[in-house]
Amino acid sequence: MMSETELRTQKAVSLFEQGYNCAQSVFMAYADIFGVEGELAAKLPTSFGGGMGRLREVCGALSGAFMLLGLKYPFTDVHNKALKNENYKKVQAVAGAFKQEMGSYICADLLHIRREAQHYVSADRTKAYYAERPCSKCVRVAAEIVGKEIFSVSE
């Protein structure tokens, strides 16, 4: 029997392969846990795909994971620095685990291209697209790592 993290990781990869961007795929796979569902779950992470709007900065899959960490470890009271620090601690831990597995958390590095904005028109999703890019793996790794954090018992 598959764990909840494994099921949601599969869902994230499936969403990506259906055409959602990397950030949407990871976020949407877990967003319902926090009461974010449907169209809103697809809208919120939209701009983070392609390393933030194809700027090729932080991997969108990881950005989707960070958005989930904001829901699990929110900082809403400006006087509660401990909550802010807890969120940042979790973000850095998830980023570190992702970097250890993937070698980087920068989209351009993962794609082995120059770190510069690309044309805003997204690439067509073809067999070649999936074969040439590590994006499905990035989605899988980010979804696994954040899932383990979401379902972990708080310290």
pLDDT of residue 130: 86
Residue-wise DSSP of 3-55: -HHHHHHHHHHHHHHHT--HHHHHHHHHGGGGT--HHHHHHTTGGGHHHHTTS
| Parent domain of 140 | 4-150
The per-residue pLDDT string of the chain (155 residues; one tens digit each, 9 = 90 and over) reads 989 999 999 999 999 999 999 999 999 999 999 999 999 999 999 999 999 999 999 999 999 999 999 999 999 999 999 999 999 999 999 999 999 999 999 999 999 998 888 888 888 888 888 888 999 999 999 999 999 999 985 43
- What's the pLDDT score for residue 147? 97
pLDDT at 155: 37
What does pTM read for this prediction?
0.94
How much is the pLDDT for 153? 57
For residue 127, being part of any structural domain is answered with yes
Give the number of domains in the chain.
Answer: 1
Strand partners, 106: 58
155 found inside a domain = no
Residue 94: partners with Cβ closer than 8 Å, 6 or more residues away? 62, 65, 66, 69, 142, 145, 146, 149
Within 10 Å of residue 127's Cβ, how many Cβ atoms? 7
- Best CA proximity match to 95, nearest among 46, 68, 58, 70: 58
Tokens for 121? Answer: 């028109």
Question: What confidence score (pLDDT) does residue 124 get?
Answer: 87
